[in-house]
Amino acid sequence: MKTFTQLFLVMMVIVAACSREETISLINGENLEGWHIDVPAMDNNPDTINPFIVHDGMLVSLGTPGGHIITDEVFSNYRLVAEYRFAGKPGNCGILVHASTPRDLYGMFPKSLEVQLQHEQAGDFWCIQEDIKVDNMVERRGPEEEWGGSEGKRRHIENLTDGSENPAGEWNTMIIECKGDEITVWVNDDLVNHGYECTATEGQIAIQAEGSEVEFRKLDLTKLD
C-alpha cells in the first residue's frame, strides 16, 4: 500500500505531465527532412537551384527562384515561434499557415493565410483563397465589397503597429498563435495582429522564397490544447 507521500508524488508527476506543452523544432539543423519543395521553375528544369537550404544549422530562403517550402505534416491549434533576419538587403518573405491546395493563386501560392515578413510590414495578413476578419476591417483592408482571397480582390490586411521590427540585419522574433479560427501575431513582444473567423483552422506551414534572402534560426512549434 502506497504512503500518502508516495501518492502525492505520483499525482504531482501526473499533473506536470498533463500540463506540459509539447514543443517540436521544425528545423533539424542538418537537412530538409519533414518538408517538401514547391518551386514552379524546378518543374521542367532539374538544374534549377533549390532556393531553400540548410546553412550553419539554419533554414535559409535564398529568395529566388520564387516558391515555397512546405511541411509534410498538417497542424492545428499551435504556437509557432520564429526567429528570423534578412541576411542582406531587407525585402520580402512570409510564413503561410493553414496551407492546403498548392499553387492555388497565380500558379504559385498555396491556399493559405499568409503572415507577412516583408520589411516594415511584419505581421500583415494576406488572404490566399482563404479569408479572415479583423477589427477595424474597412480601415485596414478597404471597401467591404472588394474583400476576398482571390485575384483582383483586396487580400491585404495591415497590421496594428509601426516600428515593431528590429533594425535591418538584427534578429526578430515572431510568434504566430493559431487556435481554432483565430490567428494572433506578435513581433518582438508587440501584438501586431489578431484575426478571427478564419475560413481554415488547420493545414501545413509554408515559408516563401519571394525575392530576399532570409535566415531562420528557430521555428519551434508548441501544440496547444
Q: Does some domain include residue 14?
A: no
Q: Mean pLDDT, to the nearest integer, of 52-58?
A: 98
Q: Is the peptide bond before 40 cis (omega within 30 degrees of 0)?
A: no
Q: Does some domain include residue 1?
A: no
Least confident of 19-28, 112-121, 211-220: 19-28
C-alpha of 20 from chain center: 23
pLDDT at residue 137 is higher than 80: yes
- Each residue's pLDDT tens digit, 59-72: 999 999 999 999 99
Q: Does some domain include residue 12?
A: no
Q: Does some domain include residue 7?
A: no
Q: Does some domain include residue 214?
A: yes
Q: Mean pLDDT, to the nearest integer, of 125-147?
A: 97
Owning domain of residue 44: 22-223
pLDDT at residue 189 is higher than 60: yes
- Each residue's pLDDT tens digit, 89-128: 999 999 999 999 999 999 999 999 999 999 999 999 999 9
Q: Does some domain include residue 6?
A: no
Query: What is the CATH number for 96?
Result: 2.60.120.560
Q: Does some domain include residue 5?
A: no
The model's confidence at residue 20, banded by pLDDT at 50, 70 and 90, is: low
The long-range contacts involving 26-33, CB below 8 angstroms and separated by at least 24 positions, are 26/59, 26/71, 26/205, 26/219, 26/220, 26/221, 27/54, 27/57, 27/58, 27/59, 27/216, 27/217, 27/218, 27/219, 29/54, 29/57, 29/58, 30/54, 30/57, 32/59, 32/69
Count up the domains in the chain and report the number.
Answer: 1
